């Protein structure tokens, strides 16, 4: 398998993160990592963390939205599997889907998602836009209509280092009154650390996290990976066990990089994050450790 980044900018930014000791998980979705992420996203453990499509569709069905036409903007669309599940359930709830816009950091992952969605819904108009939601907003007002709904589902908000900034970027991208559907995984006092970490202690998850390091040119044998649960977050640390020379930079043996952080929220934290970013929660539902919230943008 060839290991590569989607662009020289991605390579530069990932190396900079490694040198500083912390990288964004978004690089584990792009380039050759799109394929390893796809394998991860289809694993049972990962789906148990992210999959809440029926909960999301059921919540949308209770809102005053145009059933005869619905345009969705799916932010962090990933490999498309969650999107297909949600679209199928929306159809079952009586919605007619008019248009779908996929937004993601990775062009390759969006291409994969677009093909799968086109196969599942050949009559649906679909387009894609590259968007790094951790860094910037995107002017969506030109494409916005009264039947548009913004999606941030599948626990996407749990992975960025600054979820508050992500929600601020989303708010700056849409007009007042725009609806948002958000879903997250909740932390649970009923689950012990071993139960929380079980989906992450797999070969497929380790491969997904390590793929960008391999794309840098670091040997797999030179990398160690460990996961732990700290301060309500699943933490993944990659340790270099031999010196590496990458693009003129020397990375010493023993260097540690925070390569993965996935936060588990209390419901009150999610509501507070939304309100601080000028989203007003309207309705919510909880099921099997997942929380879905319908909110609207306020001035």
SS3 of residue 242 by DSSP: coil
Domain that holds residue 162: 1-218+267-299
> Structure pTM?
0.92
Maximum C-alpha span of the chain = 60
Domain assignment present for residue 242? The answer is no
CATH code: domain of residue 161? 3.40.50.150
Query: What is the rounded distance in angstroms from the CA atom of residue 49 to the CA atom of residue 116?
Result: 22
Task: Please indicate, yes or no, if residue 159 is contained in any of the structural domains.
Answer: yes
Name residues of the chain where pLDDT drops below 70. Answer: 43-51, 189
E runs forming strands in 140-287: 148-152, 179-185, 223-230, 233-240, 244-246, 249-251, 256-263, 279-287
In a domain? residue 289: yes
Report the distance separating Cα 289 and Cα 52, nearest Å. Answer: 9
Domain count, the chain: 1
Whether residue 24 contacts residue 161, with contact meaning beta carbons closer than 8 Å, is answered with: yes
In a domain, 81, yes or no: yes
> Does residue 87 lie within any of the structural domains?
yes
55 half-sphere exposure, CB direction, 13 A CA radius = 24
Q: Residue 190's pLDDT is what?
A: 72
Residues 6+ apart with CB under 8 A from 5: 11, 14, 27, 30, 31, 32, 212, 215
The answer to whether position 229 is within a domain reads: no
Contact call for residues 75 and 156 (beta carbons, < 8 A): yes
Calpha distance 209→79 (Å, rounded): 16
User: Do the domain assignments include residue 245?
Assistant: no
Please report whether residue 196 resides in a domain.
yes
| Per-residue pLDDT at 73 | 96
Q: What pLDDT score does 50 carry?
A: 44
The pLDDT value recorded for residue 49 is: 41
């Amino acid at each position: 398998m060839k290991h590569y980044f989607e662009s020289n900018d991605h390579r530069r930014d990932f190396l900079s993160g490694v040198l500083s000791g912390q990288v964004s998980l978004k690089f584990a979705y792009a380039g050759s990592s799109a394929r390893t992420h796809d394998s991860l996203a289809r694993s049972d453990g990962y789906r148990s963390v992210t999959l809440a499509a029926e909960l999301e569709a059921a919540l949308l069905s209770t809102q005053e939205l145009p059933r005869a036409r619905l345009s969705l903007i799916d932010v962090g669309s990933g490999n498309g599997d969650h999107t297909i599940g949600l679209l199928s359930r929306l159809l079952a709830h009586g919605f007619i889907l008019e248009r779908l816009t996929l937004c993601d950091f990775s062009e390759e992952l969006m291409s994969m998602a677009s093909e799968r969605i086109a196969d599942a819904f050949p009559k649906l108009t679909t387009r894609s836009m590259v968007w790094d939601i951790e860094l910037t907003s995107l002017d969506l007002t030109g494409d916005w209509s009264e039947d548009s709904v913004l999606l941030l589902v599948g626990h996407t908000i749990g992975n960025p280092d600054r979820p508050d900034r992500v929600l601020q970027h989303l708010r700056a991208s849409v007009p007042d009154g725009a609806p948002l559907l958000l879903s997250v995984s909740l932390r649970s006092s009923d689950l012990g650390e071993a139960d929380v970490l079980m989906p992450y202690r797999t070969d497929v998850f380790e491969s997904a996290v390590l793929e960008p390091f391999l794309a840098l040119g670091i040997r797999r044998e030179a990398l160690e990976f460990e996961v732990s649960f700290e301060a309500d977050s699943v933490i993944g640390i990659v340790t270099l066990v031999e010196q590496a020379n990458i693009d003129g930079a020397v990375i010493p043996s023993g260097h540690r990089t925070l390569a993965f952080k996935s936060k588990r929220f209390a419901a009150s934290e999610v509501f507070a994050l939304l309100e601080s970013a000028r989203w007003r929660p309207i309705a919510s539902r909880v099921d099997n450790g997942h929380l879905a919230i319908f909110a609207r943008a306020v001035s």
